[in-house]
Structure 1
Amino acid sequence: MPKKRSGGGLSSTQQAAKFLGVSVLAGAVMAGIALPAVGALGLAAKGSVESFDELPANLKTPPLSQRTTILDADGGQIATVYSRDRTVVDLKDISPFMQKAIVAIEDSRFYEHGAVDLKGVLRALNKNARSGEVSEGASTLTQQYVKNVFVEEAGDDPTKVAQATQQTLGRKIAELKFAIQVEEELGKKKILENYLNITFFGQQAYGVEAAAQRYFSKAAKDLNLQESALLAGIVQSPSRYDPVNDEAEATKRRNTVLARMAAVGDVSQEEADKAAKAPLGLKVSKPKNGCITAVNDAGFFCNYVKNVFLNDPVFGKDAKTRAKLWNQGGLTIRTTLEPQAQASVHQSLQDHINASDEVAAATTLVEPGTGKIVAMGQSKPYGSNAKEHETEINYSVDYAMGTSAGFPTGSTFKPFVAAAALEEGRPATQEYPSPYELTVPSPIQTCGKPYTNEDGAKIPNENESEKGPYQLKKAMALSVNTYFIEMVADIGLCPVTKMAEKLHVRQGSGKQMPQVPSIALGTESVSPLTMASAYAAFANRGMYCTPVAIEAVTQRVGDTSKSLQVPKSACSRAMSEKTADTINALLKGVVDSGTGQQAGLGDRDNAGKTGTTDERRNAWFVGYTPNLSGAVWVGSATQQVKMQNITIGGVYHDLVYGADTPGPIWKDAMTGALSGKEAGSFVPVHIPDPKEKDEDGGDKPGGGNDNGNGDGNGGNGGDGFLGGLTGGGNDGGGGTEPTFPDGFIRGNGNGGGRG
């Protein structure tokens, strides 16, 4: 009885034939039958590789995935990102040694045969039959190239990758069919060029240019003989012949390639022997992939750019199309990031807060009138190593773009309430009683069913000494809570939420602001980018512009590059110029003489607002100049840390306020970003002080009858703010001036005057 062979009774010759994809058709192939003329084979290929119905109709210029380069506004590189590290190069930019080495070891008869090397098939069949196993394949360089195209098309889908590489008759027939097409249409040189650009060389390097850079830190055109032989040898088994992990095995394989080159006459035996004695000469460069490689803390901005690309319909009709384009790469993305501004933000954060602190900070700067995001950074480094205090959560943006849901904004929301009131016709001198504590009025009109205070909720001011009546300018400067609740009760919630919508102020989750009075005090979570963009509308005299991060995108396709459409900023009027100018005057008062003095920029026109939330879990400063707007948030991402008796950046704080921590971060970031740039000015708006009269009236600030809050000689009425600030009148006895919330200095003299 004949000895049973492995493989279900198949002879070694039959097994080898099956491996080669010809099985019972091997005789026909070896007899030289032209495959395209055999209709049955075409049908077999179609039926066996249905999963490849998305293969390109023409393999002349397959869409090779390449690295994408992200640039700043000046053209400097921020980072490179890729699904496959590849840089496509022309054949003329590949060393002749490399071209000869790959042909010698992979398909020495490449220039002599067609798509199928019948001599190679016969040789492989004979050798495999004698050895009793599949010890030699017969795929030509063209066939290998086609298989690599199958793999490239499969992308990162493991099922498709398995189908692209499976040793089946259908897959092999499809490979042969396309190989014949490629041979007819491309020619040998183009096939070799495409092969060297598509094949995998290990260590995350796809294509010879990436491989040359990875192993030798040089361009493919500069590879010498022994370097070329090493790379050519890796292709057969990138893991086995990896020179980084197994130098001995890689050296042995390199020398095999050199011997083969000598055998086919590409080099002399003397040249081959000399090269074989040379060391490998590795100069390995680590892969620099992803936003983690970004400079100046720009990793978060880099990731935001990626998310914009994957989410904006301008880059594709659906998520799958956009993801395919991103993964294919070959993109050059020029962004709005300004190196000077980004470096300033990075330095400011480093100067004021440590990565190891239990709280974090995030800063975003936006250009009014264009929506350009010019800087974005945070105190926790970008990355996934928690031990190094890294995070991949972008605190500056909404959840959909960075997995952060935003943070309660505190009093930085109050300017939106004021803008809504001004648009409703309230004067800039609007006055409300503003007691220390207020039961929230009820009902309050909304866009629908009125709000009612069913629980009898009460709102206090920061300190008991804060008692009205107040006018808008002073209420904004002191950030008086009860004043803005009364303002909401007066104008209704609908104008406030409509103003928020016009300014694109939504919760970090994407939801609209709820129609409840507490929104006036910043109880809802909003991202720093949203706040910076909204305040930019004040600087832009009422015109809101949507934020943008991408200026231009080009994509390399084959030998050419094409420009892609990019998202454009959309500008719309959110409020009148008069309203915006008035808000600017109000918020200028905050940094000139109110809670935001620690953030003031000196001679440069600037305005802003502080914000601190319940239990000091969040602190904000949002401010702007005529040509730059910025938001700074400080707090715990989990909202679990109360910033009381806490050390931040090496500085101890009894209580953290918007002025004393976010304020200085904002000031330093803006100062550096604006250095050397034109200052610009706000359109001036005069807002009368309470009871302001002509020069002879004697009742101006300091005139003796304006601001006493008690019974001092300064008279009755007001709250002691202006009289105490300017001096010149009796402010209730001229008492001591302790520091109150948000760094504002107030008097505490007889009669309650405040300096």
Structure 2
Amino acid sequence: MPKKRSGGGLTTTQQAAKFLGVAALSGAVLAGLALPAAGALGLAAKGTVEGFDEIPSNLKTPPLSQRTTILDNEGGTIATVYSRDRTVVPLKDISPYMQDAIVAIEDSRFYEHGAVDLKGMLRALNSNVQSGATQGASTLTQQYVKNVFVEEAGDDPEKVAEATRQTLGRKVRELKYAIQVEEELGKKKILENYLNITFFGQQAYGVEAASQRYFSKHAKDLKLEEAAMLAGLVQSPTRYDPVNDTEEATKRRNTVLRRMADVGSVSKDEAAKAIESPLKLKVKRPRNGCITAVSGSGFFCDYVRKTILTDPAFGKTAEDRTKLWNLGGLTVKTTLSPRAQKAANEAATSKVNKDDKIAASVVQVEPGTGKILSMGQSRPYGLDQTQHETVLNLAVSNAMGGSTYGFQVGSTFKPITAAAALEKGISPAQSYSSDWKLSVPMSSFRNCKGAPTGSGNWDLQNEMDSEKGAFDMTSALGKSINTYFAKLEQQAGLCETVTMAKKLGYERGDGKPVSDNNPSITLGGTESTPLNMAAAYAAFANRGTYCTPIALQAITDANGKKVDVPKSTCSRAMSEKTADTVNQMLKGVVEDGTGTQAGLTDRDNAGKTGTTNDRVDAWFVGYTPNLSTAVWVGADVGKKVPMYDITIGGQYYDKVCGGCLPGPIWRTAMTGALNASETPSFNAVDVPRAKEKEDKEKDKDKGHDGDKGDDDKSDTTPSRPGFTGGRGDRHGGGNGH
């Protein structure tokens, strides 16, 4: 190996003067060397030094874009994402063969000259004049500076073109900055930076990514022949690409090896032996983006991406947040539970096939923390529609990659009305009697300004004509009686009901405010999302405290510095007693109500079924004290599909109901996600019952059919001209059990 000595030690002005010595020769050698640029460069005549020194000497070196790694809550990798696949490594973690190879082929006098190789420049200039070609004379330092310009340009084609344009002005800027870099960094750091910034083809930036791409090993472990091949790529990554042209790549590698022998980096015998060896590639194909996420977590991965791109915690402007994401180098630890995600995927595909007209969404939230544990869908994440893939995240709002409006939630809203009523002091024993149909004056509902919601009547009905008579709150929830909840909302107050919904994080999928003018909200006529419903029900499990859902636990940047992440915000939505009472009543839904097909037998659990008009949406949302899960089933693209006389997942349904399809999916998701050894219980409370109901239900049939009465087809749209409100209200609203 040749003796290495620094060419530094000169000040900027001294090196500039040294360079100007070339220009000073222009008068004598101009004719022989044909240097038309001398005057244009401003490097000859009076004022030359001043012109050179006017170029700013503070080269701004942007941080190198690197890959971001997204982890689950156990530290396992979900996905790696990047705009440029790069992993920055120190020089000590780069094979000495690689260091020697790049110097030998790109700048063999690297350790002997300063920022500018005057001998090389004169040689190149003279050669260009003689041959008419354009031979480069850039040192590694100059090449590094050029790469800095390219990196700074990012993916902007115009900026990239400007950074690489072969102009004399750009060359002068490179020279000035190269001098600065030599003074400030020294040879070893320059070499380290160069090897980390350079493009090696096949989407690999920097030697570590290149080593992984072509040989599936770390850069520190590169052998002589491997290092030579990588060094040869720098001149033309496309021409010498070993994946697409082994012969050209081998020729170029051998050129590097011979050059290494010529300059004394290796012996001629070592070079000859390496030349005889085949390339022996072990290509590792790049895996980039959420489309490569493991365990079906692509939708969650994309939610993480959108969180960083939209949350002001990661930058004041969209441009700032995009820059952070594209720069990468982040290690993002998320809330995703591998166990829960596996269970959600299995559940979503257990009853619905990926090529069905109908899709299923499963999302799980941890009560008390707001942590999103899983997001699963029946269709796989991806862009290949021929394989029924999609990137539409059915669990979240439109702003976060979901459907335009979200979905009407049907009777899964009724527990929210019950909570509002209990908070107002209405007893669970409150009984209302009515026929199976009901007509309610719109003027009897008041919005939060105290004004009536309109004129005319709201006509609604229960699923079956047998569902009439008197019901208390417990039986009305168990059988999902629409007429009862219209009257309960009337007594509790529409404003109070909407206010309770907002306290529980209930939001429309399109981001518009939840209206306080639509009484049909109590039957689920306003769209929301599975994530919002899972988080809302988690508040019941958490004894009345709602926690905003979160997907992030911790983030560190490329330097290991912590990045602040938004925390879940928890606030009391209702009293503990109210939540405990709702829990006890919803236990009845899964024990002998409309959700018996969902119920778990080994632990306390509660939930609610829901369907909408024409059965275009079907739900089951339920929970244990330590896990809340929402399941939605319906058409995800195009027109809504009424789920009558339909085959889904290979099973025929004369009519889909919340208990008979989403319910079993929910049970599968919960069973797989929960630890059998952890079986916390709800806080037991006595729930008052209407006397006549209590007596009557002592002898009720425990073998109640969970499908029977699970849904109804009531028109929940208030029947008055010009009634407007949420999209769901204009289209019939939610209804049913």
TM above 0.5 = yes
Cα distance, 1:14 vs structure 2:
8.1
Please name the residue that 1:715 is paired with: none
Cα distance, 1:435 vs structure 2:
2.2
In structure 1, what is the Cα distance between the partners aligned to 2:387 and 2:709?
Answer: 34
- 582-591 or 314-323: which moved more? 314-323
Please name the residue that 2:541 is paired with: 539
Please name the residue that 2:75 is paired with: 75
Please name the residue that 2:13 is paired with: none
Cα distance, 1:490 vs structure 2:
2.1
In structure 2, what is the Cα distance between the partners aligned to 1:283 and 1:414?
Answer: 59
Please name the residue that 2:297 is paired with: 298
Distance 1:678 1:132, change over 3 A: same
Cα distance, 1:644 vs structure 2:
1.4
Residue pairs, 1:19-30, within 5 angstroms: 24-25=40-41, 28=44
Does residue 663 of structure 1 match 2:663?
Answer: yes
Q: Which amino acid aligns with 1:725?
A: D
Please name the residue that 2:238 is paired with: 239
Does the 8 Å contact 1:353/1:379 carry over to 2?
yes
In structure 2, what is the Cα distance between the partners aligned to 1:358 and 1:86?
Answer: 41
Give secondary structure in 1 for the equivalent of 2:417. Answer: helix
Does the 8 Å contact 2:431/2:473 carry over to 1?
yes
In structure 1, what is the Cα distance between the partners aligned to 2:34 and 2:377?
Answer: 61
Distance 1:739 1:408, change over 3 A: closer
Match of 2:701 among 719, 725, 741: 725
Q: Which amino acid aligns with 1:63?
A: P
Does residue 740 of structure 1 match 2:708?
Answer: yes
Cα distance, 1:530 vs structure 2:
0.5
Where do 5+ consecutive residues of structure 1 fail to align?
1-10, 47-54, 693-698, 707-720, 728-735, 745-755
In structure 2, what is the Cα distance between the partners aligned to 1:276 and 1:430?
Answer: 90
Give secondary structure in 2 for the equivalent of 1:375. Answer: strand
Residue pairs, 1:390-405, within 5 angstroms: 390-404=389-403, 405=405
In structure 2, what is the Cα distance between the partners aligned to 1:177 and 1:676?
Answer: 68
Residue pairs, 1:303-702, within 5 angstroms: 303-404=302-403, 405-443=405-443, 444-448=445-449, 450-452=451-453, 454=455, 456-515=457-516, 516-557=518-559, 561-638=560-637, 639-691=639-691, 700-701=694-695
In structure 2, what is the Cα distance between the partners aligned to 1:57 and 1:307?
Answer: 33
Cα distance, 1:26 vs structure 2:
8.2
Q: Which amino acid aligns with 1:325?
A: L
Give secondary structure in 1 for the equivalent of 2:558. Answer: strand
In structure 2, what is the Cα distance between the partners aligned to 1:420 and 1:743?
Answer: 23
- 157-166 or 296-305: which moved more? 157-166
Please name the residue that 1:51 is paired with: none
In structure 2, what is the Cα distance between the partners aligned to 1:265 and 1:577?
Answer: 80
Q: 1:330-377 CA deviation, whole Å, 9 max, x = no partner?
A: 111111111111111112223222111111111111111111111111
Give secondary structure in 2 for the equivalent of 1:609. Answer: strand
Cα distance, 1:133 vs structure 2:
2.4
Cα distance, 1:313 vs structure 2:
1.6
Distance 1:56 1:409, change over 3 A: farther
Please name the residue that 2:250 is paired with: 251
Give secondary structure in 2 for the equivalent of 1:39. Answer: helix
Does the 8 Å contact 2:349/2:377 carry over to 1?
no
In structure 2, what is the Cα distance between the partners aligned to 1:39 and 1:397?
Answer: 61
Give secondary structure in 2 for the equivalent of 1:230. Answer: helix
Give secondary structure in 2 for the equivalent of 1:285. Answer: coil
In structure 2, what is the Cα distance between the partners aligned to 1:743 and 1:421?
Answer: 23
Does the 8 Å contact 1:441/1:489 carry over to 2?
no
Q: Which amino acid aligns with 1:203?
A: Q
Cα distance, 1:273 vs structure 2:
2.4
Q: Which amino acid aligns with 1:643?
A: M
Return the TM-score normalized by structure 1.
0.86
Please name the residue that 2:155 is paired with: 156
Return the TM-score normalized by structure 2.
0.88
Cα distance, 1:380 vs structure 2:
0.8
In structure 2, what is the Cα distance between the partners aligned to 1:338 and 1:353?
Answer: 23
Cα distance, 1:740 vs structure 2:
1.9
Distance 1:479 1:14, change over 3 A: farther
Q: 1:298-338 CA deviation, whole Å, 9 max, x = no partner?
A: 11111111111111122122211111111111111111111
Cα distance, 1:13 vs structure 2:
8.5
Q: Which amino acid aligns with 2:492?
A: I
In structure 2, what is the Cα distance between the partners aligned to 1:362 and 1:436?
Answer: 32
Q: Percent identity?
A: 60
Give secondary structure in 2 for the equivalent of 1:556. Answer: coil
In structure 1, what is the Cα distance between the partners aligned to 2:171 and 2:600?
Answer: 71
Cα distance, 1:157 vs structure 2:
1.8
Does the 8 Å contact 2:595/2:706 carry over to 1?
no
Give secondary structure in 2 for the equivalent of 1:440. Answer: strand
Q: 1:694-727 CA deviation, whole Å, 9 max, x = no partner?
A: xxxxx954xxxx3xxxxxxxxxxxxxx6644269
Q: Which amino acid aligns with 2:471?
A: Y
- 268-277 or 302-311: which moved more? 268-277
- 380-389 or 316-325: which moved more? 316-325
Please name the residue that 2:724 is paired with: none
Q: 1:186-243 CA deviation, whole Å, 9 max, x = no partner?
A: 1111110110001000100000010011011111111111111111111111111111
In structure 1, what is the Cα distance between the partners aligned to 2:619 and 2:492?
Answer: 26
Does the 8 Å contact 1:78/1:298 carry over to 2?
yes
Does the 8 Å contact 1:660/1:743 carry over to 2?
no
Does the 8 Å contact 1:588/1:606 carry over to 2?
yes
In structure 2, what is the Cα distance between the partners aligned to 1:617 and 1:271?
Answer: 73
In structure 2, what is the Cα distance between the partners aligned to 1:388 and 1:205?
Answer: 29
Q: Which amino acid aligns with 2:429?
A: T
- 286-295 or 431-440: which moved more? 431-440
Give secondary structure in 1 for the equivalent of 2:208. Answer: helix
Does the 8 Å contact 1:430/1:472 carry over to 2?
yes
In structure 1, what is the Cα distance between the partners aligned to 2:610 and 2:311?
Answer: 32
Cα distance, 1:612 vs structure 2:
0.8
Give secondary structure in 2 for the equivalent of 1:667. Answer: helix
Distance 1:163 1:25, change over 3 A: closer
In structure 2, what is the Cα distance between the partners aligned to 1:383 and 1:194?
Answer: 36
Distance 1:738 1:431, change over 3 A: closer
In structure 1, what is the Cα distance between the partners aligned to 2:434 and 2:90?
Answer: 74
In structure 1, what is the Cα distance between the partners aligned to 2:542 and 2:58?
Answer: 49
Please name the residue that 1:225 is paired with: 224
Cα distance, 1:264 vs structure 2:
1.1
Give secondary structure in 2 for the equivalent of 1:598. Answer: coil
Q: 1:665-720 CA deviation, whole Å, 9 max, x = no partner?
A: 1111111111234211111122233316xxxxxx954xxxx3xxxxxxxxxxxxxx
In structure 1, what is the Cα distance between the partners aligned to 2:706 and 2:564?
Answer: 57
Where do 5+ consecutive residues of structure 2 fail to align?
1-29, 713-737
Distance 1:16 1:653, change over 3 A: farther
In structure 2, what is the Cα distance between the partners aligned to 1:622 and 1:540?
Answer: 15
Does the 8 Å contact 2:462/2:483 carry over to 1?
yes
In structure 2, what is the Cα distance between the partners aligned to 1:14 and 1:458?
Answer: 96
Please name the residue that 2:145 is paired with: 146
Please name the residue that 2:64 is paired with: 64
Does residue 41 of structure 1 match 2:52?
Answer: yes
Q: Aligned pair count?
A: 679
In structure 1, what is the Cα distance between the partners aligned to 2:579 and 2:88?
Answer: 52
Cα distance, 1:741 vs structure 2:
3.3
Give secondary structure in 2 for the equivalent of 1:645. Answer: strand
Q: 1:589-619 CA deviation, whole Å, 9 max, x = no partner?
A: 1111100111111130111000111111111
Does the 8 Å contact 2:617/2:634 carry over to 1?
yes
Does the 8 Å contact 1:12/1:133 carry over to 2?
no
Please name the residue that 2:105 is paired with: 105
Give secondary structure in 1 for the equivalent of 2:561. Answer: strand
In structure 1, what is the Cα distance between the partners aligned to 2:116 and 2:691?
Answer: 98
Cα distance, 1:17 vs structure 2:
6.8
In structure 2, what is the Cα distance between the partners aligned to 1:439 and 1:23?
Answer: 93
Cα distance, 1:491 vs structure 2:
2.5
Distance 1:123 1:426, change over 3 A: same
In structure 2, what is the Cα distance between the partners aligned to 1:346 and 1:625?
Answer: 20
